[in-house]
Amino acid sequence: MNILRKTYKWLLTMVMLVTLGSCSLFDLDINTDPNNPSSANFALLLPSVELGGVGFFEGLNQNTHGFMGWLASADTYDLTFTSYNGTWNGFYSGPMKDLEEIIVAAEAQGNTRYLGVGQVLKAYFFSNFVDMFGEVPYTEAFAGGYASANINAKFDDDKDIYAALIKLCDDAVVNLNKTSPIAISGDLFYNGNVARWRKLAKTVKLRLLMNSRLDNPSAAAQIKVILDEGDYITTAADDFQFKYNRLAVPDGRHPWYQSSYVSANNAFTYILHQPMFEMLRDDDPRRPFYFKRQTSFTLNPEDPTDASTIPCSQLAGCTYAYMALNPTVIKELYTDKGKAYTATDRAFLSGFFGRDRGDISGVPADVDIRTVPGTYPAAGFYDNAASRSGNRGAAGAGDGISPIITSWMTKFYQIEAILALGIAGDARAIFEKAMREQMAKVVALGLSSDPNAVAPTAEAVDTYVNLILARYDDAPNNNQKLNVALKQAWYCNYGNGMEMYNAFRRTGYPSDVQIPVQRIRNFPLRLPQPAQETSLNKSAPQTPPAFDSPAAAIFWDKLKFKFQ
């Protein structure tokens, strides 16, 4: 029995060693994530909503500039069912999900200010979203994590969503008018200024009514109420815009700045020739703020390498082609104005190196030649001389803006209301104000972002404004006057492609945007709904109309534009 005693002694020792040395090994209550908070307050969520919302805005901005003849981004309409997967997914699971959490919690807590701000933001972003995609999940969205979870949100009719968003704006005004002890923090747009949020609520409503005016018989009356009340964005101080910072790490600069100036590989798309040409022709004082030339060297069409680098060199049907060597362009810009076309002029014009609309050619090694965005809206360089933009790294400004809804945009709404809806007002005077307000912002941003920037003389501005006003005056009827105004809006809204795209689908103006040299599909009446959503969401429409077919048009689009 000696053995047995020894055995037990040993056994006991071993068991004790194991259990004592490792008793915590049996504690399984350790599954709380030590790396991430389990809840977040409004002040933490709101910046995510706003930053994510701006990201969403910029995500569509280049393509809509492409649709509208400004940038060579999607300008042949080669859109597919995968083009916007990321945009769509990011919208719902990113800022709008966080926004939904704010709205739900603020409503439950009776936190009227956050609720009001949340409602305005939701109204704006969803209106933009509907304008782009048409019918989308709205009433049943964000329900994946709810007690009665729904991961197959139904797609709501675009018209119904519009009605709900207008209601949301009204609710926001009510909530923002309530007194609340809780201040708003974490607000990157208005720094918690409730009055400005209220103005935005009314402006968003104005925008919704303006977009849908052809489908809504009562729109005119409602628009009049807002305009008469005047409590909407009317001055630059109220502008709903996002201003970027100058930080290189993490890069918080304007996305166009990031792609044009930071790396040696200028990844920014081409700026199209038409706006460059016209701004040169009209001596538009904004031209050196909008476009930055990189080169003054004229390529030689006889040299094989240069030949295949020159825009449109492998394509027929271009209007502007390589402007520095294009006789038609030279005639209009110089000869017709009684000016000789000198070697200096040619060097100058060589810097306007972009593309004709719909030039489908591949990408030659031209990143040191292409015209890039200037100081507006990206806060890049002022075009006082041709110089290479790329490889600036942490240097330069980049603290540009995303002009989401500005005082001049509301003025263009007002002009449209006067000319198209017969609401009383002096459209011409408002038009002049709109132009001057926009130019003031362009110049101010230019002066703050590049020390070499030079403000245009008052004379130059006056000359230009008068030129445009003369065109307005010459227009024979209200429709044509609206065409002139919206052509000017086309220049003014550089930096906000959605605004141009909506105006165009609503009115068909401006009517003189270059017809694409080539196009793969017809003009997109909305964006293709992404396959990832439609294949995963069982409630999604299974056979959506092609994005360029009339059936795809947004409910308020009565024009259903099509290239003939």
> What token pair was written down for 538?
């069982």
> What token pair was written down for 486?
């919206």
Distance of CA 189 to the CA centre of its chain: 15
CB of 64 to another protein, least distance (A): 20
Distance of CA 192 to the CA centre of its chain: 23
Distance of CA 17 to the CA centre of its chain: 66
CB of 136 to another protein, least distance (A): 8
CB of 199 to another protein, least distance (A): 21
Q: Which is nearer to another protein, 33 or 229 (CB)?
A: 33
Going from the C-alpha of 555 to that of each of 60, 132, 207, 366, 520, the distances in angstroms are 20, 12, 15, 42, 25
User: Minimal CA–CA distance to 268: which of 253, 283, 282, 279?
Assistant: 253
CB of 236 to another protein, least distance (A): 16
Q: Which is nearer to another protein, 394 or 470 (CB)?
A: 394
**Separation of alpha carbons 532 and 544, rounded Å:** 14
**Separation of alpha carbons 552 and 206, rounded Å:** 24
**Separation of alpha carbons 51 and 188, rounded Å:** 8
Q: Which is nearer to another protein, 11 or 195 (CB)?
A: 11
CB of 550 to another protein, least distance (A): 12
Identify whether the C-beta of residue 79 lies closer than 8 Å to the C-beta of residue 521. yes
Q: Which is nearer to another protein, 394 or 424 (CB)?
A: 394
CB of 110 to another protein, least distance (A): 22
Q: Which is nearer to another protein, 258 or 326 (CB)?
A: 258
Q: Which is nearer to another protein, 82 or 328 (CB)?
A: 82
User: Minimal CA–CA distance to 501: which of 50, 54, 74?
Assistant: 74
CB of 57 to another protein, least distance (A): 16
Helices (H), 394-520: 407-421, 427-449, 458-474, 478-492, 497-507
Identify whether the C-beta of residue 161 lies closer than 8 Å to the C-beta of residue 122. no
User: DSSP class of residue 79?
Assistant: -
**Separation of alpha carbons 489 and 410, rounded Å:** 11
* Segment holding 15, helix H or strand E: helix 2-21
CB of 439 to another protein, least distance (A): 22
Q: Which is nearer to another protein, 174 or 248 (CB)?
A: 248
**Separation of alpha carbons 557 and 303, rounded Å:** 48
| DSSP SS3 for 312 | coil
Sign for the CA dihedral angle at 440, 441, 447, 450 comes to: negative
Going from the C-alpha of 319 to that of each of 77, 293, 315, 372, the distances in angstroms are 19, 20, 11, 20
**Separation of alpha carbons 407 and 240, rounded Å:** 9
CB of 256 to another protein, least distance (A): 16
CB of 330 to another protein, least distance (A): 20
Q: Which is nearer to another protein, 26 or 338 (CB)?
A: 26
Q: Which is nearer to another protein, 288 or 400 (CB)?
A: 400
Q: Which is nearer to another protein, 220 or 307 (CB)?
A: 307
Q: Which is nearer to another protein, 445 or 461 (CB)?
A: 445
Alpha-carbon Rg for the chain in angstroms? 28
What angle is formed at CA 281 by the lines to CA 279 and CA 282, rounded to 5 degrees? 65
**Separation of alpha carbons 60 and 226, rounded Å:** 29
Distance of CA 148 to the CA centre of its chain: 35
CB of 368 to another protein, least distance (A): 6
CB of 529 to another protein, least distance (A): 11
Q: Which is nearer to another protein, 19 or 177 (CB)?
A: 19
